[in-house]
């Protein structure tokens, strides 16, 4: 009997500490009053600090959306630049609360690394950037090439698989910091730079050292992998993970319902029941998520919907001019599909 009581008390203790653990990260973030968001070193359109040190980009906007949901203020974020090699350790150790650093959602990262991916903010794929004067039109012509690549990435593994599958060899030039990879590539230390196509588009649009220009370089047509890029949190605090997950969904749901940063105040008067729920005019969603009922209003007002962020940072209104493609809403032939806010 005594044994049984002790076991039951032990179990209750475990359950209790489990419950307390579940909110540990969120409690710490709330107590701190700001979100520590890991980003890359600097990639135009996705995550780049301007001359005033203000971080901007599509990835940055997801950090801002989470802060808007948590604090009603998209500015309450401290950005921590991390290399591909550092980013997962930084989230594991608690140095950052989440990572928005072009991290591909894979099984091993989602499980063995003790992390959780909360969605896909950008459907990407790996490609190759070459100088036009290399005279290569297809990745199949890269046999024997020297290839610049970052360590600790899916890129490294895909590269080896692709060359092996096509019976080609390559010489890797492995460099950790993205600005140093770009410098090495532009200095001719490698023939090819391989990473996610989005990052190559950013490099080509923003980093070519003069006198050479955008037109002196080419992104080869082959996309050799799936790179679904997602927000990353530590495994173990489900409520914080939910907030990160739904902050991105809210940006997508707002776009789907035509709610944007310019019309969101008008939309508060809408009698569409879905819009009323999304914007918290009909309360309940905020309470369920553990945030203010105006969480989506704050995201859309301060950050914009997904399409606005895409167009402004990497799409038609940016230097990158990336096509919506797979990142269009499902209603427009793309893959971006948010579960309903209800």
Ligand X SMILES: N[C@@H](CCC(=O)N[C@@H](CS)C(=O)NCC(=O)O)C(=O)O
For ligand X, the closer CB: 46 or 257: 46
Choose the binding region for ligand X from 15-23, 37-45, 72-80, 301-309 (rule: CB under 6 A). Answer: 37-45
Return d(Cα 105, Cα 120) in angstroms, integer.
8
228 lies in the binding site for ligand X (CB under 6 A): no
CB closer to ligand X out of 178 and 243:
178
CB of 201 to ligand X, least distance (A): 11
One of 86, 195, 298, 302 touching ligand X (CB under 6 A): 195
Candidate list 36, 127, 155, 225; residue touching ligand X; CB under 6 A:
155
Least Cβ distance, residue 87 to ligand X (angstroms): 7
In whole angstroms, how close is the CB of 82 to ligand X at the nearest point? Answer: 7
How would DSSP label each residue in 218-281? EE-S---S-EEE--EEETT-HHHHHHHHHHHHHHHHHHHTT--TTTHHHHTT---HHHHHHTTS
The least CB distance from residue 114 to ligand X, in Å, is 16
Task: With beta carbons less than 8 A apart as the criterion, state whether 257 and 272 touch.
Answer: yes
Q: Based on the shown chain and the rule CB under 6 A, indicate whether residue 116 belongs to the binding site for ligand X.
A: no
Question: Does 38 engage in binding with ligand X (CB under 6 A)?
Answer: no
**DSSP for 3-72?**
HHHHHHHHHHHHHHHHHHHHTHHHHHHHHHTSEEEEE-S-BTTTBEE-TTS-EESHHHHHHHHHHHHHHS
Q: Using the rule CB under 6 A, which residue among 45, 57, 101, 231 binds ligand X?
A: 101
Mask: binding to ligand X, 272-311, rule CB under 6 A, as x and -? ----------------------------------------
Cβ(67)–Cβ(75) under 8 Å?
A: yes
Residues with Cβ within 8 Å of 210's Cβ and at least 6 positions away in sequence, in order, are: none
Q: Least CB distance from residue 230 to ligand X, whole Å?
A: 9
**313 is a contact residue toward ligand X (CB under 6 A):** no
Tokens of 180: 């140093």
Give contact residues for ligand X (rule: CB under 6 A).
40-43, 47, 84, 101-104, 150, 153-155, 178, 181, 195-196, 199, 227
């Amino acid at each position: 009997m005594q044994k049984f009581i002790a076991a039951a008390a032990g179990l209750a203790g475990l359950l209790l500490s489990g419950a307390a653990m579940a909110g540990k990260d969120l409690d710490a973030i709330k107590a701190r009053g700001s979100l520590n968001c890991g980003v890359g070193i600097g990639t135009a359109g996705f995550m780049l600090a301007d001359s005033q040190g203000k971080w901007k980009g599509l990835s940055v906007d997801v950090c801002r959306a989470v802060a808007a949901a948590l604090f009603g203020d998209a500015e309450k974020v401290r950005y921590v630049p991390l290399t591909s090699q550092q980013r997962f350790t930084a989230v594991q150790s608690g140095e950052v609360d989440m990572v928005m650093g072009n991290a591909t959602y894979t099984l091993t990262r989602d499980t063995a690394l003790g992390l959780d991916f909360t969605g896909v903010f950008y459907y990407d794929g790996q490609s190759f950037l070459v100088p036009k004067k290399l005279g290569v039109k297809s990745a199949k012509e890269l046999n024997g090439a020297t290839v610049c690549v970052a360590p600790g990435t899916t890129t490294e593994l895909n590269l080896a698989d692709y060359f092996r599958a096509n019976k080609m060899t390559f010489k890797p030039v492995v460099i950790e910091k993205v600005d140093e990879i770009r410098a090495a590539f532009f200095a001719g230390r490698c023939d090819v730079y391989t990473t996610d196509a989005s990052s190559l588009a950013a490099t080509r649009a923003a980093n070519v050292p003069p006198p050479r220009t955008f037109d002196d370089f080419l992104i080869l047509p082959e996309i050799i992998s799936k790179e679904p890029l997602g927000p990353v949190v530590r495994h173990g605090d489900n409520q914080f993970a939910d907030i990160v997950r739904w902050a991105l969904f809210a940006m997508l749901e707002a776009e789907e319902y035509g709610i944007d940063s310019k019309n969101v105040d008008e939309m508060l008067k809408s009698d569409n029941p879905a819009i009323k729920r999304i914007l918290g005019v009909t309360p309940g969603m905020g309470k369920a998520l553990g945030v203010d009922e105006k969480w989506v209003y704050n995201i859309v007002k301060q950050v914009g919907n997904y399409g606005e962020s895409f167009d402004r940072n990497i799409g038609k209104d940016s230097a990158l001019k990336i096509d919506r493609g797979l990142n269009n809403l499902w209603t427009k032939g793309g893959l971006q599909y948010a579960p309903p806010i209800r």
